[in-house]
Amino acid sequence: MLKPAHLIDTKDLTKQEVEEILERAWFWEKNREKQLMPFAGRFAANLFFEPSTRTRFSFEVAEKKLGFHVLNFSENHSSAVKGESLYDTVKTLVSLGVEVITIRHRDPEAILELVERNPGCSIVNAGAGALAHPTQSLLDLYTIKKHFGELAGLQVAIVGDLAHSRVVRSNLWSMQKFGIQVILSGPPEMRDPELERLAPYVPFEEAIETADVVMMLRVQLERHESKLFTSAEQYNQAYGLTLERAKRMKPGAIIMHPGPFNRGVEIVDELVEDSRSKIFEQKANGVFVRMAVLEKVLQGGTERENIVEKWASIG
């Protein structure tokens, strides 16, 4: 029996492992019309303790394209299922024959504790609180690489609600590993001092003009108690990607957004499907990247023991 590997965060991956995943995703994209199904008849499960239909569907499509039977579990009451209870649920699924489980959970500690206890299957983090969202980061990398060819030397501006985004952390790790210069921007009230030890904070109007990738983050105005912005329009005017700002973007620069996006808040309607926007292509790419990730964690073990150890390491 191979020891199962996991994907908890991008920082557990070496540069070479990320490259292998991106290359394999490209294999799946090229062969997307073929019914290869290397895992036909085997079982995967999606445990979503926080609702996210779109991410769950992306994993479900990836799993089914790989040939898996899929078990779906969704629940809103996150806090209840922690510690013993999450472990017992996962261990039950393993007993039923499930080999890989994707988990979305509000509390990042829940997934870490689970993996530490060795539940006997591969775990893929599908979004943990505001901490990590590794498959989103990998698909972002894949999307950028497909467009620019080379990653090193690019500048990516991540703009918006930095404090509440799980994508920023995962992206900082993986992008910097590839020589991408990440800059942060957005309303001062949504800054996160911890992140700024890793990447510089830059005024929005400046970031717009220097970045090769303008990555807008979802803003949930209702989350901010201070009520700095009294309306979507007000936010959009100050920190949204408007037509005027898009005009000032570098030639060849692209627009990205991890979704779900708010039209008219962090990005104006007209730009969502603009020729520079990769927003829906990101979703398409996500399927191929997740196929590669699922495949990789399931191949963990034997001569890859060292890698596996590290994949499982969650410090």
Footprint of a copy of itself (CB under 8 A): 32, 35, 37, 40-41, 43, 45, 53-54, 57-58, 60-61, 64-65, 69, 71, 73, 84, 88-89, 91-98, 259-261, 263, 269, 272, 280-281, 283-284, 286-287
Q: In the bound complex, what is the minimum distance in angstroms from residue 98's beta carbon to a copy of itself? A: 8
Closest CA to 63 of 126, 105, 4, 2: 126
CB 192 to a copy of itself: min, Å: 27
Q: How far apart are CA 204 and CA 86, in angstroms?
A: 42
Task: Name the helix (H) or strand (E) containing 182.
Answer: strand 181-185
245 is in an annotated binding site: no
The CB-of-75 to a copy of itself minimum distance in angstroms stands at: 9
Least gap, CB of 129 to a copy of itself (angstroms)? 23
- Evaluate whether 159 touches 186 at the Cβ level (below 8 Å): yes
Select 153 or 260, whichever has its Cβ closest to a copy of itself.
Answer: 260
Q: Which is nearer to a copy of itself, 101 or 190 (CB)?
A: 101
Token pair 């957005």 in the structure block, residue: 186
133 is in an annotated binding site: yes
Angle subtended by helix axes 15-30 and 279-299, to nearest 10: 110
Specify the residue, 111 or 291, whose C-beta has the smaller distance to a copy of itself: 291
293's tokens: 């990730």
Measured from the Cβ of residue 20, the count of other Cβ atoms closer than 10 Å reads 15
Residue 93: burial class (beta carbons within 10 Å; 0-12, 13-18, 19+): buried
Measured from the CB atom, is 102 or 185 closer to a copy of itself?
Answer: 102
Question: What string of DSSP letters covers 133-166?
Answer: -HHHHHHHHHHHHHHHS--TT-EEEEES-GGG-H
Minimum CB separation of residue 33 from a copy of itself in Å reads: 9
Q: Minimum CB separation from a copy of itself for residue 67, in Å?
A: 9
Q: Is 54 annotated as a binding residue?
A: yes
Is 104 annotated as ligand-binding? yes
Q: How far, in Å, CA of 264 to CA of 193, rounded?
A: 28
Q: Which is nearer to a copy of itself, 99 or 161 (CB)?
A: 99
Looking at the chain, how many residues does it have?
Answer: 315
The whole-angstrom separation of Cα 282 and Cα 143 is 6
Nearer to a copy of itself, 46 or 185 (CB): 46
Binding-site members are 54-55, 82, 104, 133, 136, 166, 218, 259-260
Binding-site members for L-aspartate are 82, 166, 218
Binding-site members for carbamoyl phosphate are 54-55, 104, 133, 136, 259-260
